[in-house]
Chain A
Amino acid sequence: MASIDTALVSIGALNELASQDTHIHRLDPRAKLITTVLFIVTVVSFDKYAVSALLPLVLYPVVLTALGDIPTGAIIRKVLIVSPFAVLIGIFNPFFDREVLMHIGGVPVTGGVISFASILLRFFLTVGVALLLIAVTGFEAVCQALERLKVPRAFVVQLLFLYRYLFVLLEEGLRIRRAYALRAGDTRGVAMRHYGSLSGQLLLRTLDRAQRIHQAMLCRGFDGRIRVARSLRAGPADVLFVLFWCLFFFLARRYNLPLLLGAFMEGIV
């Protein structure tokens, strides 16, 4: 888990990217949410040894980053940070699947190596688009899309509340952590015997805050529902966006495009 400072910075950075105004940002959040989910389902539906067949799908994140004006390096860095679990599990594949499936320039390549490469590629694609979804849509808009797609209201309200107070509590946690580090001298972590009272203290403040917020909300007539004034309207561009990518995902899933292209080039040469 990232430290509080980096978490704040990275959430803030994604927020800033989401506040841009590009062609991609202007699309209906539902269109982007649906397309992203379809993309992920397409990626994971591939055979475990699929590597080259997966490559055309790179186009979707590429288009999102390009049209959405998203710095590619920042997204790649974020993906790398969370990669350890998938790498840790995938790295065993070369040890258990030793059957040689192909040769590249005389070097035998086993099924395990191919499936490991496939896992890494899948990981980059799926995590990358999840981050891109927020970077080109923004969290509130995603929540709005979720509500319109019939996700239970209680859960959407919970997401919005969590997000609203995330910054407040992260900053509060940061202050507590910093105060501790200044007094304890060691910045690596909180001693375990202090942790209970330290985070307990944060928890008590949190509970007090929840009570104040609730009272403030009641004063303003809160009745358990949050009403959103903005409305979503899907235009032809949104429909076109979804349809285009559906068609592309279908073609990429159905045909091994790189293989066809490679064979075509070989035929020409």
Chain B
Amino acid sequence: MHMADALISPAVGGVMWAATAGLTVYCARKLKDRDDNGHVPLMGVLGAFIFAAQMINFTIPATGSSGHLGGGMILAILLGPHAAFLTMASVLTVQALFFGDGGLLALGCNIFNLGFWPCFLAYPFIYKPIAGANPTPRRIFLGASLAAIIGLQLGAFSVVLETLAAGISDLPFTTFVLLMQPIHLAIGIVEAFVTGAVVIFVWRARPEVLETASSGRKFGDFSLRPVIIGLAVVAIITGGILSWFASANPDGLEWAMFKTAGREELEAPGNAIHEGLARFQEQTAFLPDYGFKPPAETGGAAQAAEPEAAEPWPSISAGTSVSGIIGGVMVLILAGCIGFVLRQFSHGT
């Protein structure tokens, strides 16, 4: 259920990155306050454990298919929410870098979807109340599996929301929800069962491991308030900035920087950069079909943007699409040639 770069917009990726970065800083600060640094190697090795355990596939009875562990819930139970969030984030980062699961811009989404919900919602509000202060195997199992299911459902729902907000996919909301939630319910039930089984096994073999984690003695009391306040601040700030960008230019984040800069320069005529760019545009716009409107000699940049909005990219005329295809093929050939030459060059030296 890794979100992919190809399906998100810069705004969605940016907001989720900001939220994840805020959470990471918050968690890192929480960990720094601990007087004992035994969690440092523990987190690292447990992250590697989750990595390895995810790759041991198990067969699901009567279906012939196989599943693997998600791991967020196990980490939260063993490490507490803050350390678990950082560990999950590190696992997802390595997966994004080495296996291309998701992508670098979607990493913020993925860490949020798979780390925030299990660590900061499912663990404190579902697992802990059910497992209680004096856990029994049944309560641990019930708490761990329920938390795993709900955590995954929230994660899947976040994928739906992020995809819709980006608008790259044309899937309607209800279809997408009906597609994602049942699939992840099935995955979640299997994962819940496995999570419960692993936690119970550890509890039977080494009850002290779970007790230190759940007692709250060593890992500190947990409060959601700073997290929620931080997220709200991040959302407001990024939302505000992004909507300002978006309103300055109807084409989303289409270099609003450039446009706003262009507007400022219009107020100060005779600016060398602006003139240079305008001249460059005149020289390059040798295809009348595809009008590169020079940023409005008479009007403001906002007015210059309007015709573009009225005639967006989808309204391709025959002329532009043919030159687009010819040019596209040529660009690819050109890129291939550059690559070939560079490779020869790097071998030569």
> A residues engaging B (CB < 8 A)?
1-4, 7, 10-11, 14, 22-23, 36-37, 40-41, 43-45, 47-52, 55-56, 58-59, 62-63, 65-69, 78-79, 81-82, 85-86, 89-90, 92-93, 96-97, 99, 101-104, 111-112, 115, 118-120, 122-123, 126-128, 130-131, 133-134, 139, 142, 151-155, 157-166, 168-170, 172-173, 176-177, 186, 188-192, 194-204, 206-207, 209-211, 213-214, 217, 222-224, 250, 253-267
Task: Give A22 to B91 CA distance when docked, in angstroms.
Answer: 29
Question: Is B186 on the interface with A (CB-CB < 8 A)?
Answer: no
Task: Give A259 to B318 CA distance when docked, in angstroms.
Answer: 12
Q: Is B105 in contact with A4, judged by CB distance below 8 angstroms?
A: no
Stretch at the interface among B216-224, B230-238, B325-333: B325-333
A187: shortest Cβ distance to chain B, in Å? 10
Q: Is B41 in contact with A130, judged by CB distance below 8 angstroms?
A: no
Given contacts A67-B342, A101-B314, A153-B28, contact A1 B45 (CB under 8 A): no
By beta carbon, the residue of chain A nearest B349 is A23
Q: Which residue from A47, A165, A258 sits with its C-beta under 8 Å from B324?
A: A258
B123: shortest Cβ distance to chain A, in Å? 17
Q: Mark B41-58, 1 if CB is under 8 A from A, else 0.
A: 111111111011111111
Task: Give A256 to B292 CA distance when docked, in angstroms.
Answer: 10
- A151 — which chain B residues lie within 8 A by C-beta? 24
B343: shortest Cβ distance to chain A, in Å? 4
Stretch at the interface among B93-101, B146-154, B264-272, B298-306: B93-101
By beta carbon, the residue of chain A nearest B21 is A151
- A250 — which chain B residues lie within 8 A by C-beta? 255
Q: Is A200 in contact with B327, judged by CB distance below 8 angstroms?
A: no
Q: Is A154 in contact with B28, judged by CB distance below 8 angstroms?
A: yes
B130: shortest Cβ distance to chain A, in Å? 19
Q: Is B201 in contact with A197, judged by CB distance below 8 angstroms?
A: yes
Query: Can you list 30 pairs linking A and B with CB atoms under 8 Å apart?
Result: A4-B56, A37-B104, A40-B103, A51-B324, A55-B332, A55-B335, A56-B331, A69-B346, A78-B100, A89-B7, A92-B169, A96-B172, A122-B6, A133-B97, A155-B89, A161-B44, A162-B48, A170-B51, A195-B194, A196-B197, A197-B197, A199-B198, A203-B74, A204-B202, A204-B205, A254-B255, A257-B331, A259-B287, A263-B289, A267-B286
By beta carbon, the residue of chain B nearest A119 is B6
Q: Which residue from A14, A62, A210, A211 sits with its C-beta under 8 Å from B336?
A: A62
By beta carbon, the residue of chain B nearest A39 is B104
Task: Give A96 to B340 CA distance when docked, in angstroms.
Answer: 40
Q: Is B346 in contact with A169, judged by CB distance below 8 angstroms?
A: no
A56: shortest Cβ distance to chain B, in Å? 5
Q: Which residue from B24, B94, B190 sits with its C-beta under 8 Å from A162?
A: B94
Question: Is B321 on the interface with A (CB-CB < 8 A)?
Answer: yes
Which B192-226 residues have C-beta < 8 A from chain A?
A: 193-194, 196-198, 200-202, 205-206, 209
- A112 — which chain B residues lie within 8 A by C-beta? 170
Given contacts A154-B27, A154-B31, A200-B205, contact A177 B339 (CB under 8 A): no
Task: Give A86 to B5 CA distance when docked, in angstroms.
Answer: 9
- B126 — which chain A residues lie within 8 A by C-beta? none
Q: A164-B44, A261-B327 are in contact. List 16 more A-B contacts (CB 8 A).
A: A47-B313, A55-B331, A66-B338, A82-B100, A85-B2, A96-B170, A154-B32, A169-B49, A192-B58, A195-B56, A196-B196, A199-B69, A223-B37, A253-B254, A256-B327, A262-B322
- A45 — which chain B residues lie within 8 A by C-beta? 9-10, 252-254
B44, B57, B320 — which one has the most chain A CB atoms within 10 A of its CB? Answer: B44
Question: Is B276 on the interface with A (CB-CB < 8 A)?
Answer: no
Given contacts A112-B170, A130-B103, A191-B59, contact A258 B251 (CB under 8 A): no
Q: Is B321 in contact with A44, judged by CB distance below 8 angstroms?
A: no
Q: Is A262 in contact with B10, judged by CB distance below 8 angstroms?
A: no
- A133 — which chain B residues lie within 8 A by C-beta? 97, 104
Q: Which residue from A23, A159, A172 sits with its C-beta under 8 Å from B90?
A: A159
Question: Is B310 on the interface with A (CB-CB < 8 A)?
Answer: no
